[in-house]
């Protein structure tokens, strides 16, 4: 019989599983939840996964989970774990298969009223310009030589090749480029990556046209450059088959590392290596190469979205442009410095289904946002609200500068297909004036809003905990799915 998990309530929306709950825990396990979400979180294996993360060597302070937590591979999705760099480890399970899956938010110079009568034509043009779905299909097919340039230069490759301009790079996390040695990437990953540059993919990935429905903080909204009724675009995708192959390759290599060093794991899915070992260096470089692929992927898609807006909305007889507000990653391990017990400490922070939420004046934030804190993008489930938030100093103190990445699933894709009919969902969205364009009805059912937590609840948990500041709420007008 499974052991009942006991936890203590340490704040209004913060719970802790103590270090002595289970043998082998090196630190407590903490998770954010409300009365509305607590029952959902305790209904799957995610807290057991969080407990296992707390057993890993070198972990600092506590294993953490955001309110969108749900069961994943090894680490729970919505999980955050920081490890001491000097004796630290890196784990593919703490990053996920879709390395640097992330979101970018673009703001147009148009208002909702100008676009709503043209939304179907605009959506169709974007849909046919930006490949979706599984397998091959890309805006740009590249040679191996060019792909390796992407793996080293990230979004900089796209800008150099006229898919955007240098101003875009200022508003991408890490300026869209991480240091990577692509010699650690397999031939199979290269082959998969050549045919997916500039593609959306499938699953929960989407491209959404919406508008700013509500402003919560006018000062921050002004800094971020958003007003009520501004038309915006979100692009949610990652490193596609390339990143998946990198993860697959290194799960095998790190399993060999575990066996070679006779390491006992709380869960075989939590394979890891020292960041200073050859295997650890290999994964870190390959992961960064995949992150660069994803940054470039979103930049290329942005170019084709911009072109679609310009072409489709010529009827407005005015210049049309889309400015990048921010691009953020939510599946990555980063080397960062954080204050631990009053002293700066170098850490390896794993965020899986969690994003950075750096507070004001952090050196990693673009100059324009220095006084406001980093923009945080939290998309809702298909057809529901999304949020623009700001990072806070409290997040730096309590969560290693981390926030949630979305609403968080409440049921598997198989369960969702059985529970929700695609035709009914399409009709429901239509009644809300949301146009849906999708490659398959199966994908529509899998991504039904009912398969996710309420994003309003998830965001309010973090807002009331002081980890984020609500800036604006976005409402969809059209959704493109793979």
* CATH code for the domain of 458: 3.90.1860.10
In-domain check, residue 242:
yes
Q: Determine if residue 465 is labeled as part of a ligand binding site.
A: no
Nearest to 243 by CA among 288, 178, 205: 288
Q: What integer pLDDT is reported at residue 134 of this predicted model?
A: 80
Q: Determine if residue 381 is labeled as part of a ligand binding site.
A: yes
Pairing outcome for strands 468-481 and 435-438: parallel
Domains: count for the chain: 1
Q: pTM of the full predicted structure?
A: 0.96
Q: Determine if residue 474 is labeled as part of a ligand binding site.
A: no
Q: What integer pLDDT is reported at residue 1 of this predicted model?
A: 38
In-domain check, residue 272:
yes
Nearest to 294 by CA among 202, 380, 198, 209: 198
Structural domain of 239: 102-332+374-481
Is 405 among the catalytic positions?
Answer: yes
In-domain check, residue 67:
no
Q: Which long-range contacts (CB under 8 A, 24 or more apart) does 265-269 make?
A: 266/24, 266/51, 266/52, 266/55, 266/56, 267/49, 267/52, 267/74, 269/73, 269/74, 269/93
Q: Determine if residue 208 is labeled as part of a ligand binding site.
A: yes
Q: Determine if residue 330 is labeled as part of a ligand binding site.
A: yes
Rounded CA gap, 59 and 27, in Å? Answer: 7
Q: Determine if residue 153 is labeled as part of a ligand binding site.
A: no
Q: Determine if residue 161 is labeled as part of a ligand binding site.
A: no
In-domain check, residue 303:
yes
Rounded CA gap, 241 and 185, in Å? Answer: 13
In-domain check, residue 8:
no
For residues 94-123, one letter each, b for 16 or more C-beta atoms within 10 angstroms of the residue's C-beta and e for the rest, the string is: bbbbbbbbbbbbbbbebebebbbebbeebb
**pLDDT means over runs of 10, the chain (482 residues):** 82 97 97 91 92 97 96 96 95 97 98 96 95 84 96 98 96 98 98 95 91 98 98 97 98 97 96 97 98 98 97 95 97 97 96 97 96 96 93 98 92 87 88 87 84 91 97 96 80
Q: Determine if residue 287 is labeled as part of a ligand binding site.
A: no
In-domain check, residue 455:
yes
How many angstroms from the chain centroid is the CA of residue 267?
24
Rounded CA gap, 104 and 191, in Å? Answer: 26
| Residue 26 backbone zone (phi > 0: left; psi -120 to 50: alpha; other: beta) | alpha
In-domain check, residue 317:
yes
Q: What integer pLDDT is reported at residue 122 of this predicted model?
A: 97
Give the active site residue among 244, 303, 350, 405: 405
Q: Determine if residue 352 is labeled as part of a ligand binding site.
A: no
Q: Determine if residue 350 is labeled as part of a ligand binding site.
A: no
Q: What integer pLDDT is reported at residue 2 of this predicted model?
A: 53
Q: Determine if residue 21 is labeled as part of a ligand binding site.
A: no
Q: Determine if residue 158 is labeled as part of a ligand binding site.
A: no
Nearest to 37 by CA among 46, 27, 24, 48: 46
Do residues 451 and 381 touch, judged by C-beta distance below 8 A? Answer: yes
In-domain check, residue 453:
yes
């Amino acid at each position: 019989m499974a052991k009942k998990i006991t936890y203590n309530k340490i704040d209004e929306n913060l719970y802790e599983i103590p270090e002595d709950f289970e043998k082998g825990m090196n630190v407590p396990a903490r998770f954010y939840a409300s009365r509305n979400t607590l029952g959902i979180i305790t209904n799957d294996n995610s807290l057991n996964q969080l407990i296992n993360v707390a057993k890993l060597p070198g972990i600092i302070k506590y294993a953490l989970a955001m309110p969108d937590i749900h069961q994943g591979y090894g680490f729970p999705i919505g999980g955050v774990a920081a490890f001491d760099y000097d004796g630290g480890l890196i784990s593919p399970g703490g990053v996920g298969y879709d390395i640097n899956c992330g979101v970018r938010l673009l703001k147009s110079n148009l208002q909702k009223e100008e676009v709503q009568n043209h939304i179907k034509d605009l959506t169709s043009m974007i849909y046919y310009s930006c490949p979706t779905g599984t397998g091959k299909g890309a805006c740009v097919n590249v040679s191996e030589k060019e792909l390796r340039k992407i793996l080293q230069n990230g979004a900089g490759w796209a800008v150099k090749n006229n898919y955007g301009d240098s101003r875009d790079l200022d508003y991408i996390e890490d300026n869209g480029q991480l240091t990577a040695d692509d010699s650690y990437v397999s031939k199979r990953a290269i082959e998969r990556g050549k045919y997916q540059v500039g593609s959306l993919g499938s699953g929960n990935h989407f491209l959404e046209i919406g508008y700013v429905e509500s402003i919560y903080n006018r000062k921050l909204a002004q800094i971020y450059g958003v007003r009520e009724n501004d038309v915006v675009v979100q692009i949610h995708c990652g490193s596609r088959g390339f990143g998946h192959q990198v993860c697959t390759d290194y799960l095998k290599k790190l399993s060999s590392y575990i066996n070679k060093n006779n390491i006992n794991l709380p869960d075989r899915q939590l394979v890891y290596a020292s960041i200073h070992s050859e295997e650890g260096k290999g994964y870190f470089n390959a992961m960064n190469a995949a992150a660069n692929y994803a940054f470039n992927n979103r930049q290329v898609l942005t170019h084709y979205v911009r072109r679609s807006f310009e072409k489709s909305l010529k009827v407005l007889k005015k210049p049309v442009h889309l400015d990048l507000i921010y691009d953020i990653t939510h599946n990555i391990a980063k080397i960062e410095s954080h204050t631990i017990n009053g002293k700066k400490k170098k850490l390896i922070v794993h965020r899986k289904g969690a994003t950075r939420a750096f507070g004001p004046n952090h050196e990693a934030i673009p100059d324009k946002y220095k006084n406001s804190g980093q923009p945080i993008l939290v998309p809702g489930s298909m057809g529901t609200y999304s949020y623009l938030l700001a990072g806070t100093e409290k997040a730096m103190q309590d969560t290693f500068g981390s926030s949630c990445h979305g609403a968080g699933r409440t049921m598997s894709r198989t369960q969702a297909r059985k529970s929700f009919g695609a035709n009914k969902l399409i009709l429901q969205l239509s009644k809300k004036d949301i146009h849906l364009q999708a490659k398959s009805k199966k994908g529509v059912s899998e991504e039904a809003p009912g398969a996710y937590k309420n994003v309003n609840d998830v965001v309010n948990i973090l807002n009331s905990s002081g980890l984020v500041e609500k800036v604006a709420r976005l409402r969809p007008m059209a959704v493109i799915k793979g």
